[in-house]
Amino acid sequence: MGIRQAQMKAEMKTLRSAGLRLLQTYADLSDTKGHLLDEVLGAAVPLQWAHYPPDDAIDLSSGFQWFYHSHSPEDRPVGSEHGHIHLFARRPLWSRRLQSCSEIEFRRICGSENTQTHTRHLLAIGLNAKGLPISLFTVNSWVTGDQMLSTKLTTQLLASIQLKTGHPRVDAVIESVVHLCLPEIQNALQKRDAKLASFTGANKLQDLGLELLSELPIDLDEKLKRLM
């Protein structure tokens, strides 16, 4: 077996494993008549703009972090999205890679780099009211109060994602979606970069008129049909 064939076989194994894990997670929720966000919300009704969990879900071992929240109807048009998960990389997961050529060029395009924050925003995953992932999107730096990384580094970090934050079902869904949707994620990141590159404002990363940088719908049912 050639190197490329071995790589393709390993990639397919990863995709199938992610698909099976996703299906099992939602099957377990169905059996217990539960919701994906139950382990984060408990019996509480989610409040708009609040973080769930309040101090974010953090895996100090892998260096990844996430939280769930929803926007007000006035801020985000009424649609199928119930809320979304923001996913981050924590220092030092990203910091030792900042001197690569791709990162230096990306910072040149984006403008000044905030080195004081401990996180870098990677991606947001939109969920519908049933707790099913329906979209991937990227936002400007002022939205999350930190910075972003280049498409190359973000994709590399996400490809290696491992989560153990104490919220196993949400962790499983995030990991599975990332592995199943890496091509879509890369596409969303490239659209983000193109929008930033074309913007002519003085401080594009802090421009309040530049919020949502890219968004793509995802169809996990179709992906799973092709895999299984």
CA nearest neighbour of 69 among 47, 88, 38, 44? 47
Rounded mean pLDDT of 101-118? Answer: 69
**Overall number of domains in the chain:** 1
Q: What is residue 27's predicted lDDT score, i.e. its pLDDT?
A: 96
Tell me which residue range forms the domain holding 180: 3-227
Q: What is the pLDDT of residues 69-80, one digit of tens each?
A: 988 766 665 467
pTM, two decimal places: 0.90
Q: What is the CA radius of gyration of the chain?
A: 18
pLDDT digits (tens, 9 = 90+) for 132-180: 999 999 999 999 999 899 999 999 999 999 999 999 999 999 999 999 9
pLDDT beyond 60 at 105: yes
Q: Does 129 have pLDDT greater than 70? A: yes
pLDDT digits (tens, 9 = 90+) for 196-218: 989 887 789 999 999 999 999 99
